Structure 1
């Protein structure tokens, strides 16, 4: 696998700026996730790395050399899309073998058999090799689609929301599987999603994008605990971070206009009185919807807590996040 560097990468489509001056490094063997809403520039970055789009400015460096003048084939990247893109008339074995049989690779048949068998074991579908693609479940089809990328030995795997079309249970199962596969193979992987749970659970690094710009890049823990601004703080965390006027509580630093309270920042038992609006029982925890001086907020409490709508509980902040009028973090 190879380390991939993006240097001051920019791309526009007419008057729409898709990617603006993005610089980041995908380390060799890392699982890097690009996180952001629709239109943030995530897929465009993948297409610029793969060579499906050409940058207006900047450089794509793969394995220590510039790739901007290379064709997609010369860049040796493997891409997995949201849709399965399988050949329905072919067996699972032939779908997995298809990339290896391209005139460009000219892989011997005995080597194809070895690689297909190996990847089928990694994907835990060796018993499906003789099935037609149309005989598979949605999760199995996506495994085969991922496997078609894995049979190759590319510089980097690029994955564009490959789990988003699956149901919640399958997404949860395949998140675990995909991370296991990446670690087993030691693969370098750049993954695109708008799902913060996928980003938090699978990644070694997260890049948060906003309107084509890279706002913050770091480990999941760093992004969650030390967001650079209000936008980043709102991208990660479930329930979402609560944003309240900073003057609601004493002790706000100079210049603070808003206070950010994640569930772990809300201490119950002392402080200001709030009213319970709604109680959500989630099994291992209870999600409380509160009203505090006309402001709504959500926090978590003990699963055995006996609370009802209308109850009054006292709360106070503990190690909260503060933001100025522009949304920038105040440390």
Structure 2
């Protein structure tokens, strides 16, 4: 494994600026996630590191070596794509061994067999090695695609939303498997996703990216508790943070135009709160309920104990408890 540095990298496609002055370091053995919506520049960053695109400016270093002008084959990276991209006529074993049999690698057949079987055990697909790729389920095919990258032991693994096409149960299972494998191997991973749950549960650091610019990077807790602006605050948290006019609550620090209220910032009661709201809808989720409220004509979503017995039409009181504050441009204001 190796440290990877992206230094002031910019990339445009015609008049579209995909990345602007991106600087990011992925430490040796670190799991970093880039979190952002479609079109934010996440995949472009991966393709630049892999050498599939060339930057307009800036440089890329792997293990201290400037690889900006190097061909993909000379960069020692492995790319896991969103789609499985397996060879359907080959077995699982042959798909995973394919990269090791490249003429430039010259890996012995005994070593190939040992490495493939070792990775197959990590991914719990050792009993599928003789199956054709077309005989696998979606989750198994994604494990093979990940395994094909893992057998190579590159400097860095680049992963482009590899779990997004799976159902929720499989995504949950593979999140745990992928994190376990990364820890076991000490692998360096740059993982891009639009799914906040993937980023928060797997990454040691999250970089929130929007419009080709890295807005903030830090641990999942740092990003969640101390977002630099309202956009970053809205990327993490379920339900999404409520952004409300500060004037509704009557107490806010100087310069604050907006209150950011997550579920833990709101206390709900039958009466005696700072402001009143009307329950519009209740979503029962088993151990908790989503309460959809109308607060002076503005929607608010928060969590409540199902035993509280709130129902549509109820009037409730809300109290703020250490919320976040933002100015008129969305930047954080100290409480």
TM-score by length of 1: 0.99
8 Å Cα contact 2:67/2:75 also seen in 1: yes
8 Å Cα contact 2:249/2:274 also seen in 1: no
Q: Deviations over 1:45-66 (max 9, x none)?
A: 0000000011110110110111
Partner of 1:58: 58
Distance 1:178 1:16 in 2: 34
Distance 1:280 1:272 in 2: 22
Runs ≥4 in structure 1, deviation > 6 angstroms?
Answer: none
1:199 aligns with 2:202: no
Other structure's SS at 1:304 match: helix
Structure 2 unpaired stretches of 5+ = none
Partner of 2:298: 295
Structure 1 unpaired stretches of 5+ = none
Alignment of 1:92-171 (within 5 A): 92-171=92-171
Distance 2:21 2:171 in 1: 32
Deviation at 1:163, TM superposition (A): 0.7
Partner of 1:317: 320
Find the partner of 1:308 among 300, 306, 311.
311
Other structure's SS at 1:233 match: helix
Partner of 2:267: 267
Distance 1:50 1:119 in 2: 23
Find the partner of 1:277 among 280, 303, 325.
280
Deviation at 1:198, TM superposition (A): 0.8
Q: How many residues align?
A: 331
Q: Deviations over 1:299-326 (max 9, x none)?
A: 0011322111011111111110100011
Q: CA RMSD in A?
A: 0.8
Distance 2:184 2:46 in 1: 23
8 Å Cα contact 2:35/2:207 also seen in 1: yes
Q: Deviations over 1:158-183 (max 9, x none)?
A: 00010111111111111111111111
Deviation at 1:156, TM superposition (A): 0.1
Q: Deviations over 1:205-258 (max 9, x none)?
A: 111111000000111110111000011011111100001101111320111111
Distance 2:112 2:287 in 1: 47
Distance 1:160 1:79 in 2: 8
TM-score by length of 2: 0.97
1:3 aligns with 2:22: no
Distance 2:178 2:162 in 1: 10
